[in-house]
């Protein structure tokens, strides 16, 4: 697994530093109007390059990567961003199934929960059998957000799950109705 330096990624260098006591950075259209368009134009490699900088433990050292990926999910989640959302969703779902640490997968599942649709159901459902309870919970929450299209995958996973996974799946199914 790549362990690239967060500070050397050109996309992360465009994220404003925390200065003057700010707790959270912002990327306003006036600050960097083309960041997300250019990032998406960079294709899968650009987005995966940012994902590669994520650390297993969210201890603040990779905050720029987490911030940028979360902002990308939020920006492409807008109703008028269907094409961009489809690209980001496909990348996040594919990377969710890649050989990555549970903490990174949990982050990706959480981001998918903001905007994912039925095309991410299989990728998210594949995480319901994970040993890491945070990952199971994040995947179940994202599937709950997808709603009824996720119910068959949740029902199928319930039969193979045990313990915490089974409880998370049952809860998700109850939420979906």
Domain residue ranges in the chain: 6-176
Predicted pLDDT at 20: 62
Q: Which residues contact 143 (CB under 8 A, 6 or more apart)?
A: 121, 124, 125, 128, 150, 153, 154, 172
Domain 6-176 has CATH 1.25.40: yes
pLDDT by residue for the chain (177 residues), tens only, comes to 444 444 479 889 888 777 665 666 666 655 566 888 889 999 999 999 999 999 999 998 999 999 999 989 988 888 898 999 999 999 999 999 999 999 999 999 999 999 999 999 999 999 999 999 999 999 999 999 999 999 999 999 998 888 899 999 999 999 999
The string of DSSP letters for the chain reads -----GGG-TTGGGSPP--TT-SS----TTT-TTHHHHHHHTHHHHHHHHHTT--SS-SSTTHHHHHHHHHHHHHHTSTT-HHHHHHHHHHHHHHHTSS--HHHHHHHHHHHHHH--GGGHHHHHTTTT-S-HHHHHHHHHHHHHH-GGGHHHHHHHHHH--HHHHHHHHHHHHHH-
Give φ, ψ of 122 to 5 degrees.
-60, -45
Q: Which residues contact 127 (CB under 8 A, 6 or more apart)?
A: 96, 105, 109, 135, 136, 138, 139
Predicted pLDDT at 25: 64
Is residue 157 within 8 Å of residue 125, measured between CB atoms?
Answer: yes
Predicted pLDDT at 3: 45
Predicted pLDDT at 2: 44
Predicted pLDDT at 14: 81
């Amino acid at each position: 697994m790549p362990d690239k330096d967060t500070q050397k990624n050109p996309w992360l260098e465009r994220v404003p530093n925390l200065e003057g006591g700010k707790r959270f950075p912002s990327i306003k259209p006036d600050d960097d109007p083309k960041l997300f368009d250019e990032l998406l134009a960079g294709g899968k490699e650009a987005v995966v390059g940012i994902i590669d900088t994520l650390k297993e433990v969210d201890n603040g050292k990779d905050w720029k990567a987490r911030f940028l990926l979360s902002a990308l999910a939020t920006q492409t989640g807008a109703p008028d961003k269907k094409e961009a959302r489809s690209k980001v969703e496909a990348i996040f779902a594919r990377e969710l199934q890649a050989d990555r640490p549970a903490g990174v997968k949990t982050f990706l599942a959480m981001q998918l929960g903001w905007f994912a649709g039925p095309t991410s159901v299989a990728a998210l459902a594949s995480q319901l059998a994970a040993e890491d309870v945070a990952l199971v919970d994040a995947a179940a929450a994202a599937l709950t957000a997808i709603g009824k299209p996720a119910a068959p995958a949740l029902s199928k996973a319930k039969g193979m799950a045990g313990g915490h996974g089974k409880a998370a799946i049952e809860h998700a199914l109850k939420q979906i109705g």
